[in-house]
Structure 1
Amino acid sequence: MSQSTLNVTLIFTVYGSFHPVNYLFVTLIFLLYLLSIFSNISLMLIIYVESSLHKPMYIFLFNLAINGLIGSSAVWPKIMENLLSDTQESSYEGCLIQVFVVTVYGGTAYTILTVMAYDRYLSICKPLQYHSIMTSTKVKQLLAVVYIFPIASISGQVSLTSKLPLCRYNIQRLFCDNLSIVNLSCVKSNLNNVYGLCMFALIAVFPFVIVVLSYVKILLVSLKTSKEAQKKALSTCTPHLITFINFSLASLFSVIYNRVHLHLPAGVNIFFSLHYILIPPLLHPIVYGIKTQEIRKCLTKILRKNMIFAGSFGFLHLNPVSPLTTYNMY
C-alpha cells in the first residue's frame, strides 16, 4: 500500500437519496439477510446431518452455501451500518478488504459451479466410471482448486490496486469494488487493467465454457437414453442450471455496471450493484431445497423426527406417569 493512501477515508455518495426511508430499507435488508443466513445454514445442517447426502455433489453444494454466507456477510452489515449512520464512509484498508472478500466470493462461487457441472457430467455421461474417478481424494483436490486459485489470483489484483495513488475519495456505489477504487486513482494502470481482464477470463469465461460444454455433452448423451433416464437427468441438473444461469446473469450485470457508465435511474443502478450479492446467496439454497428430491426427502424426515419428538415430549409433559404408578397397574 502506498504511503499516500495511509489513513485515507473513502465516502459513499449514493446513500443520500435513501434518507426518507432509511429504516424501511434497513428492516427489509435485515430480513433478507436473516433469510439468506437461515436458508444457507439449514441446507448445510441437512447435508451434514444426513449421511445419505455425503456425496460429492452435496459436498460441493455445502461449500457453495458457505461461500454464499461469506459473500452476503461481507456487504449487508456494512450497508445497514451506512443506512443508519450520519456519515457513510470506510477506511481505505477496510474498503480493500471488502473488495477482496466480495471478489473471492464471486470467483469461488463460479469455480464451485464449474466443479458441480463436471460432477454432473461424470455422473450422467460416465456412470460406470464415476466412483473410480470422483474419489474422496479427487473431491479434496477439486475443493483445494476451488479456494486456492481464486484467493491467489485475487490477492494479486488487490495488491496491484493498493499500490495506486489516490486523488479522489468519493465512491458512487453502495459498497467497495475494485474498479471503483481504480477509478479514484490519479494515474491509469494498464497492468491493473490487463491483470483484471486475464483474471476475468480465467475465473468467469473459462468456467462458463466448461459448464456449457458439459451440458452439451449431457444433452447429447441423454437424448440416446430412455424417457425415465432423461427425466432423472433433468431433475438432477435443473437446480444446478437455475443456479448457474442466475449467477451468470448477476455477474454479467455487475460487469456491465462496473465497466460501462450507464445513464440509468438510481434504482436500476442500485439493483445492478446489489443483484450480484443479494440474489445468489438467497436463491441457491432455496432452489436446491425445492428442486432436489434427496434434500426434500431428508428435510421431510428431519421435520417428522422433530414433530414426533415434540409430540412425545408434550404427551409426557401433559400426562406424567411415575414408574411406581406404572408398576401398580399390573
Structure 2
Amino acid sequence: MMNNVSVITIFYLSGLNDKMNHRLILFSLTLLCYCAILLVNISLILTIISDKNLHEPMYILLCTFCINGLYGTTGFFPKFLWDLLSPVHVISYSGCLVQALVMYSYACSDLSFLAVMAYDRYVAICRPLQYHSIMSRQKLIKLVCFSWLTPFCIIGTNIYLTSRVKLCSPYITKLFCVNWIIVSLACFPAETIVNNIVAYITILIYVFHVFFIVWSYICLVKTCANSVENRAKFMQTCVPHLITLITFIFTLLFDIMYIRYGSKNLPQPLQNFIAMEILVIPPLMNPLIYGFKLTKIQKKFVGHITFRIK
C-alpha cells in the first residue's frame, strides 16, 4: 500500500464503457443538449442585460442564476464530449480537483441563489413599501457576492483538505470527478476525519438554506392568502421560482439518495443519467420556466421575434 502513496498524477474515469455502442449518436445528443443549454441561458442573460426595464433585483438575480448554470455545465460538458470521442477516459490529478470544485460550488451556489431569490420575493410581497430601501444596489451586490464567493470558499476548503489526503487508487467510478469518491480512495481512512467533519458542516449550512427558503414561502403564503393583488404577484413571480426550486431539490436529493442507497447493479447508462441529471435538467429548464412565466421577459422575447420577422 505504501508503494502507491503520492504517485497518482492521473485518474481514470470508469463511468463510460470502452465497448459502449452508438458513441457518435450519444455524442451528437450530448452536444445538442449542451448547445440548447447555452442557447436558452445566454438568450435570457442577454435579454436582461440589454433591457433597462429588467434591471431590477429579481431579474438581475435571475441573470446571475443563469450565469451560474453556464459555469456548472461548462465544468462538465466539454470534458464529457471529449471523453465520448476518446478511447481512454483520463483526467489529471489537478484537473480532477478543479472539476470537483466547479461541480460542487455550482450546486451550492444554485441553492444560495434560490435562497436569495426567495428573500427577494418575501421582501417584495410581505414588505412592499420597504422593498427598494432593503433591496438597494449595494445590498444586491452583497447578496450576489455571497451567493458566489461563499460556496466557492466552502467547497474550496473541502477540496484543499482532499488534496492533502494520500490516495492509493486512480480509479473513479463516475463520469466526472466527485469529491467524496476521491476521499474514499484514501490509503489511510484516519486521514479523512477532518474531511468528513467539514463535509458534514457544509451539508448543515445548505440544509439551513433550504429551511430559510421554506420559512420565506410560509410567510409568502400567509401574506398572499388574504389579498387578491398579492396572490396575483405570487402566481406571476413566485411560481417560477417555486418550480425551479422543486426541480433543483428533487434532482439533488435523487442524486444523493442514489449515492447513499442506490444499487450498483443498475445498468451503466441509467447510473450515468442519474449522475448527469443535476447538470442537465436545472440549467435547461430554469431559463425556459422563467422565460415562459415572467411577463416582462415574455414580451421582450416576442418583441425580438416580431422584429426579426418584419
TM-score tier (shorter) = over 0.9
Distance 1:18 1:216 in 2: 51
Q: Report the alpha carbon displacement of residue 7 of structure 1 after superposing the two structures with TM.
A: 5.6
Contact preservation (8 Å) 2:112, 2:209: yes
Residue of structure 2 in register with 1:76 after alignment: 77
Deviation, structure 1 residue 287: 0.7
Identity of aligned residues (%): 34
Deviation at 1:264, TM superposition (A): 4.5
Q: What is residue 125 of structure 2 aligned with on the other side?
A: 124
Aligned to 2:300: 298
SS of 1:174's equivalent in the other structure is coil
CA distance in 1 between partners of 2:262 and 2:234 (Å): 42
Report if the CA contact (8 A) 2:5-2:168 is conserved: no
* Post-superposition CA distance 1:31-71 (Å, at most 9, x none): 00000000000000100111111000010000011111111
Question: Which is higher, the Rg of structure 1 or of structure 2?
Answer: 1
- With the length of structure 2 as denominator, give the TM-score of the two structures: 0.94
Cα shift at 1:4: 4.6
* Separation in structure 2 between the aligned mates of residue 200 and residue 286 of structure 1, nearest angstrom: 29
Are 1:191 and 2:202 matched, yes or no?
no
**Could you list the per-position Cα deviations for residues 264-285 of structure 1 after superposition, in whole angstroms to 9, with x for gaps in the alignment?**
4123322221111111111111
Residues 257-276 of structure 1: pairs in structure 2 closer than 5 A:
257-260=258-261, 262-266=263-267, 267-276=269-278
* C-alpha distance in structure 2 between counterparts of 1:264 and 1:276, whole Å: 21
Tell me: CA distance 1:7–1:184, structure 2 relative to 1, closer, same or farther (3 Å): closer
Give the whole-Å Cα distance in 1 for the aligned partners of 2:7 and 2:56. 48
Q: What amino acid maps onto 1:154 in structure 2?
A: I
Q: Distance in 2 between matches of 1:41 and 1:220?
A: 36
Distance 1:6 1:66, change over 3 A: farther
CA distance in 1, matches of 2:294, 2:274: 29
Q: For residue 209 of structure 2, what is the aligned residue in structure 1?
A: 207
Q: Which residue of 2 aligns with 1:316?
A: none
CA distance in 1, matches of 2:236, 2:87: 50
Q: Is the Cα–Cα contact under 8 Å of residues 113 and 240 in structure 1 kept in the other structure?
A: yes
**Is 1:218 aligned to 2:220, yes or no?**
yes
> Which digits, 9 at most, give the CA deviation of each residue in 1:48-101, with x for residues without a partner?
111111000010000011111111111011111111111011111110010001
Distance 1:18 1:237 in 2: 47
- Does structure 1 retain, via aligned residues, the 8 Å contact 2:8–2:167? no
Q: Gapped runs of 5+ residues in structure 2?
A: none
Letter in 2 for 1:193: N
Equivalent position of 2:13 in the other structure: 12
Q: Which moved more, 1:298-307 or 1:55-64?
A: 298-307
Which residue is 2:149 aligned to? Answer: 148
Deviations 1:281-306 (A, max 9, x none): 11111111111111101111222233
Counterpart amino acid of 1:89? Answer: V
SS of equivalent to 1:128: helix
**Cα distance in structure 1, aligned partners of 2:16 and 2:270:** 14
State the Cα distance separating 1:187 from its structure 2 match. Answer: 1.9
* CA contact 2:75–2:103 (8 Å) conserved in 1: yes
Distance 1:126 1:114 in 2: 17
1: distance between equivalents of 2:19 and 2:130? 56
Which one-letter code corresponds to 1:59 in the other structure? I
Paired residues in the alignment total 304
Contact 1:246-1:280 within 8 A present in 2 as well: yes
Deviations 1:152-173 (A, max 9, x none): 1111100000111111111110
AA partner of residue 220 (structure 1): K
TM-score by structure 1 length?
0.88
What's 1:255 paired with? 256
Q: Deviations over 1:180-226 (max 9, x none)?
A: 11111112211111101111111x20110011000000000101112
8 Å contact from structure 1 (residues 179, 258) kept in 2: no
Q: Which residue matches 1:89?
A: 90
Rounded to whole Å, the distance in 1 between the matches of 2:125 and 2:40 is: 28
Q: Give the whole-Å Cα distance in 1 for the aligned partners of 2:169 and 2:43.
A: 43
Matched residue SS, 1:90: strand
> Does the 8 Å CA contact 1:250/1:275 hold for their aligned counterparts?
yes
Conserved in 2, the CA contact under 8 Å of 1:257 and 1:273?
Answer: no
Tell me which moved more, 158-167 or 180-189: 180-189
Mapped partners of 1:86, 1:214: distance in 2:
49
CA–CA distance in structure 2, aligned partners of residues 287 and 36 of structure 1: 13
Distance 1:294 1:80 in 2: 36
> Which range is displaced more, 120-129 or 270-279?
270-279
Question: Which shifted more, 235-244 or 263-272?
Answer: 263-272
Aligned amino acid, residue 29 of structure 2: L
